[in-house]
Amino acid sequence: SERHFERYFEDVIARDQRIEPRDWLPEAYRKTMIRQIAQHAHSEIIGMQPEGNWITRAPSLRRKAILLAKVQDEAGHGLYLYSAAETLGGDRDDLTEKLISGRQKYSSIFNYPTLSFADVGVIGWLVDGAAICNQVPLCRSSYGPYARAMIRICKEESFHQRQGYELLMTMMTGTEAQREMVQDAVNRYWWPSLMMFGPPDDDSPNTAQSMAWKIKRHTNDELRQRFVDMTVPQAEALGVTLPDPDLSWNADRGHYDFGAIDWDELKQVISGGGPCNTERVERRRAAHEDGAWVREAAAAHARKQQQRKEV
């Protein structure tokens, strides 16, 4: 009976085991899991654009090869995640349709422009750094296919983060103009990176249920604090200033205090009003439409193979 399945589901969660695709699960769990996985997949795919913007203008062959590889990894993560969503019945065409018609979200961070090559380094350092901080606990998420996808993705993200830090270290030991480029990129990306963790806990409608289901293992504010604590010493080692006069060590709390985040800005960006939202979605839509012939050809090929087998 339904009650029996429900008890099994609750036991699996209580014992810290994984829910697998063939298991019964509550409709609301399926819905929130598809929402989070789809948003994550869309973020990886849209996230290719800000950095992709610099591939043709990378300052050396080495930097170009590194950047190409990183952006390709992001495509891989996106496809991997769409596959995880498919195990829950989320159809990839349908999810893409929702993305390009603005009915599904992707991370706010990718709605900011990349104005110099230092932004590539700062995205690696701060954006991938924040992504890792958020995603390492998701390796223990209750939904098996998502948790396992996170293991591989986190390994690649760690490499991306080191890549960004190394790039910034190189620029910081270069000319004064290079150091200024890095500082400018840090000034623009610091606050948006803190917003990646989502709204504050008292304004986060999904956190309580997702924690109860062990989809999320920490709240948005807990992970944001962890990221700040981890990043301040890295900024010092790099020799950049984080643009927050209120940032200071609090010995009582054993954490860094930081200034107030502009939540109106996050709301605006999430609801489509960020500096690059329209451009990002338009670009994704154009790529999808331009790729229609590839999908048609692949489907025709698959049909032909199938017919040959049947003869």
Tell me: does residue 220 bind ligand FAQ (CB under 6 A). yes
Instruction: Name the one range near ligand FAQ by CB under 6 A: 34-42, 182-190, 228-236, 286-294.
Output: 34-42
Q: Convert residues 171-190 into a mask of x (bound to ligand FAQ by CB under 6 A) and - (unbound).
A: --------------------
Return all residues near 232 (Cβ < 8 A) that are at least 6 apart: 242, 247, 256
Tell me: does residue 168 bind ligand FAQ (CB under 6 A). no
User: Count of residues for the chain?
Assistant: 311
Tell me: does residue 95 bind ligand FAQ (CB under 6 A). no
Nearer to ligand FAQ by Cβ, of 8 and 30: the residue is 30
Tell me how far CA of residue 242 lies from CA of 154, 160, 162, 204, 245, in angstroms.
Answer: 25, 21, 19, 26, 8
The answer to whether 120 and 114 have CB atoms below 8 angstroms apart is: yes
Nearer to ligand FAQ by Cβ, of 73 and 184: the residue is 73
- Helix/strand/coil (H/E/C) assignment for every residue in 168-226: HHHHHCCCHHHHHHHHHHHHHHHHHHHHCCCCCHHHCCCHHHHHHCCCCCCCHHHHHHH
Nearer to ligand FAQ by Cβ, of 47 and 90: the residue is 47
Provide the token pair at 271. Answer: 């609801």
Pairing of strands 255-257, 248-250: antiparallel
Nearest residue to 216 (alpha-carbon basis) of 284, 167, 156, 146: 146
Q: Convert residues 120-149 into a mask of x (bound to ligand FAQ by CB under 6 A) and - (unbound).
A: ---x---xx--x--x---------------
Nearer to ligand FAQ by Cβ, of 111 and 183: the residue is 111
Tell me: does residue 199 bind ligand FAQ (CB under 6 A). yes
Tell me: does residue 107 bind ligand FAQ (CB under 6 A). yes
Note the residues at the interface with ligand FAQ (CB under 6 A). 35-36, 39-40, 43-44, 47, 74, 105, 107-108, 123, 127-128, 131, 134, 195-199, 204-207, 210, 216, 220, 270
